[in-house]
Amino acid sequence: MPGPDSPASCYLIEHDGVRIVLDLGPGSAGGLQRYAPLETIDAIVLSHLHADHCLDACSFVVWHRYAERARAPVALYGPVGTMERLGAAYEQPTADLSDVFEFHSLSSDDRERPESSTAQPGALMIMNSGLEIGGLRLSFARMNHPVETYAIRVEAGTASLTYSADTGICPELIRLAKGTDVLLCEAAQPEGEPRYPPNLHLTGSQAGEHAAAAGVGRLLLTHIPPWVDNAAQLAAARTAFAGTELATTGMTYDL
Structural domain includes residue 253? no
Please list, in sequence order, all residues whose beta carbon lies within 8 angstroms of the beta carbon of residue 102, skipping any fewer than 6 positions away.
72, 73, 74, 75, 76
**Residue 110 pLDDT:** 40
Q: Is the pLDDT of residue 88 over 60?
A: yes
In a domain, 6, yes or no: yes
Q: Cβ distance 137 to 32 under 8 Å?
A: no
Instruction: Specify whether 109 is located in the same domain as 198.
Output: no
Which band of pLDDT confidence, cut at 50, 70 and 90, is reported for residue 70? Answer: low
CA angle (83 as vertex; 12, 65 as ends), nearest 5:
70
Q: Is residue 150 assigned to a domain?
A: yes
Q: What 8-state DSSP symbol labels residue 147?
A: S
In a domain, 252, yes or no: no
Pick the last residue of a domain from 111, 127, 143: 127
Residue 93 and residue 6 in one domain: yes
Q: Do 90 and 149 share a domain, yes or no?
A: no
148 and 120 within one domain: no
For residue 6, pLDDT beyond 60:
yes
Position 108 scores a pLDDT of: 55
Q: Is pLDDT above 80 for 112?
A: no
Residues 3 and 123 in one domain: yes
225 in any annotated domain:
yes
CATH of the domain at 118: 3.60.15.10
Q: What strands lie across the sheet with 11-15, from one edge to the other?
A: 11-15, 18-22, 43-45, 74-78, 101-105
The answer to whether position 23 is within a domain reads yes
* Residue 93 and residue 46 share a domain: yes
Quick one: how far is CA 83 from the chain centroid?
Answer: 17
pLDDT > 70 fraction of the chain, expressed in percent and rounded: 91
**Three-state helix/strand/coil letters over 57-103:** HHHHHHHHHHCCCCCCCEEEEECCCHHHHHHHHHCCCCCCCCCCEEE
Phi, psi of 6 (to 5 degrees): -160, 145
Confidence of residue 122 (pLDDT cuts 50, 70, 90): very low
- Total of domains in the chain: 2
Of 184 and 110, the one with more pLDDT:
184
- Residue 105 shares a structural domain with residue 149: no
Residue 254 lies in a domain: no
Report CA torsion sign: 83, 88, 94, 97.
negative
> What mean pLDDT, rounded, does the chain reach?
89
Domain span at residue 73? 1-127
59, 109: one domain:
yes
pLDDT digits (tens, 9 = 90+) for 124-136: 334 345 899 999 9
How many helices, marked H, and strands, marked E, lie in the chain? 8, 13
Residues 91 and 160 in one domain: no
Residues 117, 10 share a domain? yes
Higher model confidence: residue 255 or residue 107?
Answer: 255
Instruction: Give the whole-angstrom CA distance, residue 188 versus residue 166.
Output: 9
Last residue of a domain, one of 127, 155, 177: 127
58 and 151 housed in the same domain: no
Q: Read off the pLDDT of each residue in 183-189 and give the average, rounded to a whole number.
A: 98
Q: For position 218, what pLDDT does the model report? A: 98
In a domain, 189, yes or no: yes
Residue among 183, 193, 189, 182 at smallest CA distance from 167: 189
pLDDT digit string, tens, across residues 189-226: 999 888 888 899 999 999 999 999 999 999 999 999 99
189 & 153 share domain: yes
Q: Which of 95, 127, 159 is the last residue of a domain?
A: 127
